[in-house]
Amino acid sequence: MEKLLSIVIPVYNTEQYIEECINSLLYQTYKNIEIICVDDCTPDNSALLIKNIMEKDSRVKYILHNENKFQGGARNTGIDNACGEYITFIDSDDFIADMNCYKTAIYNLEKHNADISIFSFFEKKENSIKNYKISSSVQGLQKLNKDNFTKVHCSPCNKIFKLNHIKKHGLYFPEKIKFEDEAFWYKYVAAIEPKAYTSNSPYYCYRIHGSSTMASRDKYIYNYLDVTLDILNYLEKIGKKDFYKEHILNLLYSPAETKEIYNLDEKALKQVAEKFKKIIDITGLDFNHINNRVGACIYAYFIEDSKMRENYLKTIEILKPVKYKILKHNKKLYKLKREILRIKEQIFKRG
C-alpha cells in the first residue's frame, strides 16, 4: 500500500500558473497524496482557483495565512499540518514534468532504505529550457555530509523527505526572508547527515519569470546574512557549531551586477554591519578565513571598524585572478577584478 505523501505549495500571486502546478500533482501515478495549499495572503485569484479544484478532488487542501510570512513561513505551515509519512514541496508557479516522478522517487527511497530521495530539475524561461545535472559523485546511494552536500541543489522541491525526521529535529524554514532554501538544506544535512538516493532525472520544472525569486534575487541579497545567522543558531542548538567551519561563509554571496548594496541608508548599513560582525563573532573565524571567501569580501564595505576594512584591503588582492559565477540564471562568468575594484572604491569613499 502506498504511504501518504504530503505536498506543500506556498501560494502567492501566481494565478497564471497555479492550476498547472496542482494538476501536475493530481496526474501523478502515485495517488496517495495530500496537497496542502498555503495561501500567504495572495492578492490575486489564486485562492478561488484552488477552491474550484478542491470541489473536484478531496486530496487538495487549503489553508489561509492571516499575515504574509513569505515562502518559508508558508512551508512551515504546511509542515505543521502535514499528515504524510513523506513530505515534499513545490512552488506554485512550477510543475512536475513527469507523471511518474513521485512514484519513482519513493520507490528508490524505499528500495534503498534511504533517508531522502532526490531528483533533478530544469529551468524554463519563456521559450528556452536548461537542464541541470547532479554531480556523478553523489548519484545513486550516497551519504551526504559537510564535504559533498553542496553538490546537490539546495531546493526542497526536488526532494522527498521523511516527515518524522523534519519534526524530530525541529527543521523549519526562516520566515519573512528570502533564500530560505539554503537555511533549511544546511540545517537538514547537519542534523541528519542523510543517506540519500539521487537520480539525475529532470522531473521538476522551475519556471523563471519576471516576479520569480530567481529573477529578483539581487534585491534581497542581504538576506544571506539572516540565513547564515539562522543556520549558525541552529547548529549551536544541536551541538554542531563547528560542523561546516569556515565553509559557512560560502553563503555570503557577492551581489555581482547590482549596485543596490551601495544605496542603503545609514540605518540599513548599520544593521548589515552588526549582522556581519555577529557572524564573525559566532564563527570565531579570523581574517584569513573571511578574506578567502569571495562573497564575504563585499561585506567589508559595511564594517564600522576602520582597522577591519584596512585588513580586507590588504588581502583582497589575492582574489583578483579568481572567476566566479553570478547568482543569475544565465550563469554568465564575470571576472572578480571588476567586483573588487567596486568594493574598494566604496570602502575608500567611507574613509
User: What CA dihedral angle connects 76, 78, 83 and 89, to 10 degrees?
Assistant: -100
Q: For every one of its 351 residues, what pLDDT tens digit does the chain have, with 9 covering 90 and above?
A: 899 999 999 999 999 999 999 999 999 999 999 999 999 999 999 999 999 999 999 999 999 999 999 999 999 999 999 999 999 999 999 999 999 999 999 999 999 999 999 999 999 988 889 998 899 999 999 999 999 999 999 999 999 999 999 999 999 999 999 889 999 999 999 999 999 999 999 999 999 876 555 544 556 667 888 999 999 999 999 999 999 988 888 787 654 445 565 666 778 777 877 887 788 888 887 666 665 555 555 565 566 666 655 665 565 554 444 433 333 333 333 444 455 555 556 655 655
| C-alpha 227, offset from chain centre | 10
Superfamily of structural domain 5-208: Spore Coat Polysaccharide Biosynthesis Protein SpsA; Chain A (3.90.550.10)
Question: pLDDT at position 328, please?
Answer: 34
pTM: 0.84
Query: Which pLDDT does position 283 carry in this prediction?
Result: 85
Rounded Cα gap, residues 157 and 171, in angstroms: 15
pLDDT of residue 54: 98
Q: What is the 3-state secondary structure (H, E, C) of 65-106?
A: CCCCCHHHHHHHHHHHHCCCCEEEECCCCCEECCCCHHHHHH
CA 1 from chain centre, in angstroms, equals 33
Give the C-alpha separation, 204 to 223, whole Å. 26
In the 8-state DSSP scheme, what is residue 139?
A: S
216-252 burial, b at 16+ Cβ within 10 Å, e below that, comes to ebbeebbbbbbbbbbbbebbeeeeebebbebebbbbb
pLDDT of residue 182: 94
CB atoms within 10 A of CB 159: 24
Burial class (CB in 10 A: 0-12, 13-18, 19+), 195: middle
pLDDT of residue 266: 74
What pLDDT is stored for residue 322 in this prediction?
Answer: 43
Residue-level pLDDT at 252: 75
What is the C-alpha to C-alpha distance for residues 198 and 231, in angstroms, rounded to an integer? 24
Domain ranges of the chain: 5-208, 221-350
CA 223 vs. chain centroid, Å, equals 11
- How far apart, in whole angstroms, are the C-alpha atoms of residue 218 and residue 345? 20
CA 160, CA 197: separation in Å to the nearest integer?
Answer: 10
Please compute, for residue 170, the number of CA atoms within 13 A of its CA located in the half-sphere on the CB side.
7
